[in-house]
Chains A and B, each alone.
Chain A
Amino acid sequence: MYNLTINGKSYSVDVPASMPLLWVLRDVVGLTGTKYGCGIEVCGACTVLVNGEPERSCDMEVKEAVGKQITTVEGLSPNRSHTLQLAWIAKQVPQCGYCQSGMLMKAAALLRQTPKPTDAQIDAAMSNVCACGTYPRIKAAIKAAAGIAA
């Protein structure tokens, strides 16, 4: 039994120690906003924040998450009011939308650490894969959220 703090709420989960956080979130806790894409830490669809830092949850064992603050896309704001969520809507970023949870979490971590990122910093941080090709709009939305002129 592991006690997890996810989006500020406590959860007790009875799962094997090596079960990846991704599958605990999706199949046990029922937070399906965090996506499975590759399972090998390449695509970034499973990105969540752990103590504010971006982590690929497909390769993080649940036992490593105990005692840490886990934030998923569902916890970014209670009502889609996070500046990044507003910017994502304003710039009409998502196409299929599958990668966008991971993208948003990555962007949230970026702006927390670097409130006014340069283009190069955005490119370096946003290494997740979007097969639909929404990158230009993601970049525009990050800049809008950061108050940087496009």
Chain B
Amino acid sequence: MTIHQNAPDPTTVSRRTLIGQGAAAFAGLAIGFGPEMAAAKKGSGGGSGSGSGSGSGSGGTTTPTGTPTTANVGGLVGTYVGNWLLIGADNTVTILCGSQEMGQGIMTGLAQVVAEELMVDWNQVKVEHAPAGNFTYADPAMRGVTGGSMSMRGYYQGLRVAGAKAREMLKMVAVARFGGSLGNAVAASGTVSVNGQTATYGALAAAAAQQTPPSSPALIGNGRLIGRSVARTDIPAKVDGSAVFGIDVRLPGMVYAAVKHSPVHGGTLSPTYSPATPSGTLKAVNIGTAVAVVATNTWAAKNAVARLTPSWILPVGATDIDSAKIDATAQTLMASGTPLNAELLGDAEGSWAGSPKRLEMTYAAPFMAHATLEPMACTVLYTPGQSCEVWASTQAPPSVVGVVTKLTGLPATAVVVHPMFMGGGMGRKFETDFVTEAVKIAMAVPGKPVKLTWTREEDMTHDFYRPMALSRVRIGLDANGQPTSWSNRIVTPSILLRFGVPGTMVDSQAVDGAIGLPYAFPSKRVDYVRHTTTAPVGFWRSVGHSYNTFVVESAIDEAALAAGVDPLLFRQRLLAASPRHLAVLNAAAALAGWGTPPPAGRARGIAMTIGFGSIVAQVAEISAPTTGALTVHRISCAIDCGIAVNPDQVTAQMEGGIIQALGAAMWSRITFAAGRTVQRNYNNYRMLKMRETPQIAVTIVQQGSPIGGVGEPGVPCVAPAVANAYAKLTGTRFRSLPFFPNAGTMGEDEGEDD
């Protein structure tokens, strides 16, 4: 299957066309994705997994280029039948997952799609991460990179076809053996029955792999697995400590590394700096962006590296990464920066100026850390001139391959990447900075596997942060309180600049969630002004939506209150021509009991977001027990993600997104002082805990929409829904995130048994 992306609009480039490809993707515009592992290629372990071929160079079976061998994919057992799946002689089916598991349940979801068409029972199915390196496969959307809530959207159709092709190839073999016709052969529960005889897939697999796959097999799935809340395959290993996260990798003879980066962002080491080996350790290494120490355990390595005090060469302006300066620059750019237009309809500024009621509000959002509970970790075994094997918690295995080939000079065929369970990804593990470091360290200890683990302090102070944003919204209202204009001017750094999108163009990520709104404003203008700070910025769960939805949905609420119209009704009027959005909005309102008064002392706020192919609306019900505090009692969430492959996991993603977003809205922020990140650990980067977690109710709206993503859409509505409820309750409007920046500490109030 080859899928061609449409050429992106020349002024906006999406994350998905850029990931893993950098500027080349942008220059290339139309991207043809490579063929899937050609189904005719046979990678066979013959059901034994031992392999007996020659020529792989790794002791595995002979396989054509691009197909994994049993030896290099971590002991996968079985015979490849078509793409994405192996069938063992014992009739187990191993489905390869081309996306990386970071808690979103994608290993289960993608396997459900394959298994639906393959006609196997769920208890026959095992799922493994597809390795990267000399294993190449096509991911129709993201080319093996996990992000953008794209996995299910990108894979859904292709995996159904892959399952169906394998099913038909198994049927072909059964017909050849038993007679009868393909039309009469029945595949069910991992068997084929035809002409009065039945064989298991396991007995047919080796021969099936030799069949030419049908080009367009019938899709016969009827919701046997798709749409069912089957149990996740990865959960049992996550309740007994046996799940191996990137940080947990252990290999014979392994050594352990820790790094220290420049405390001021952007600092590097002189190439002439050659640290002596600290006592009690094995080696110290200058890796340019950091100094590393290798030892026999992580604790020894991190203690030793902490004591090193190298001189850092700072780039010009490094100390300008300072919150006070960044904020002042933002104000200047808001007032007088040169904007790039991202969306234009009519003369919004003229309409605003001529409206009887003119609203103007300015909103601010801070930098934020990803703070994944598992810090950056990567294990590398480098054998000079031969191979490089990487075990990493990574959202971007193909990018890891690129890092290794660049640093080692090895061909991609000599590189194997094992994507491990991630202890949270949130967009941070799309980056390969820590992989680069681990490979450099491994090259200094060739032949020895080395595991690099960042401390929490290095993780929090050397993140690619969710960018700050300053936004000014102007809304004109006519005499009846109906909007005449909508203008939004957004000042924020560009994430995509780092990936080759010139600063003279609109960064699509910066305006995501601010353009293409379904609300029927008669005139619209959305402008983007790039903030020039060199603070490192990156993709944080829901990216631009994480601040733009706060701005948009807060401003609409302010307009509703100014017009004296119920905020739900105000939105309903603006969505009259958008029934799909209206249905989701109404579903959230109904779930929250919007039409009935809340309990005494409480108020409700509503918000909606459109992104990642899905529509989400949420209602927050809150109280404010004391001045300057608030309690969120309940969040009611409606989502339309088209096809909910695993409804319980859609619900889980909404729950998790809401909880993460609520902590972020209340407390989380990163600030900088003279080039340094101020917050260094969780004690001053507060996140939500159980006792602060509201009741969460989720409803999945089914109205025949195209399939959408679910990993990110739960996040954006929380801050505006809560802010809107707070304004309703108290008359005070939160226009700045987080709501309580001075309550951002954690852990000091515990005073408990441990």
Contact = CB atoms under 8 A, between A and B. Distances in A.
Interface string B669-712: 00000000000011100011111010110000000000000000
Interface in A121-141: 122-139
Interface string B453-496: 10110000000000000000000000000000000000000000
Interface of B: 101-105, 231-232, 234-245, 247-248, 250, 256, 296-299, 371-375, 421-426, 453, 455-456, 648-649, 652, 655-660, 681-683, 687-691, 693, 695-696, 746-747, 750, 752-754
Contacts of A77: 240
B239 A80 contact: yes
14 contacts: A19-B299, A31-B241, A35-B374, A38-B682, A39-B455, A42-B681, A44-B754, A88-B235, A92-B232, A93-B235, A109-B753, A132-B103, A134-B652, A136-B696
Interface size class of A (residues with CB under 8 A): 35 or more
Interface in A12-43: 15, 19-20, 23, 26-28, 30-43
A32 B422 CA distance: 14
Contact of A36 (B105, B234, B247, B425): B247
Given A132-B656, A136-B655, A89 B239 contact: yes
Contact of A136 (B297, B298, B649, B693): B693
B299 A96 contact: no
B256 A41 contact: no
Contacts of B242: 33, 74
Contact of A132 (B232, B421, B456, B660): B660
Nearest to B694: A136
Contacts of B375: 36-37
A45 interface: yes
B256 A27 contact: yes
Interface of A: 15, 19-20, 23, 26-28, 30-45, 47, 53-56, 72-74, 76-77, 80, 85, 88-89, 92-101, 104, 109, 122-139
Given A32-B250, A94-B238, A42 B421 contact: no
B298 A96 contact: no
Contacts of B104: 95
Given A96-B424, A98-B374, A123 B687 contact: no
A22 to B, nearest CB: 8
Contacts of A80: 236, 239-240
Nearest to A104: B239
Contacts of A93: 235, 239
B373 A135 contact: no
A92 B245 CA distance: 19
A54 B754 contact: yes
A104 B659 CA distance: 20
Contacts of B656: 95, 132-134
A96 B297 contact: no
Nearest to A87: B239
A73 B241 contact: yes
A45 B630 CA distance: 28
A129 B297 contact: no
A27 B298 contact: yes
A135 B690 contact: yes
Contacts of A98: 245, 372-374, 423-424
Q: 7 shortest A-B CB distances, which residue pairs? A: A33-B241, A133-B659, A98-B423, A95-B103, A97-B238, A96-B103, A42-B747
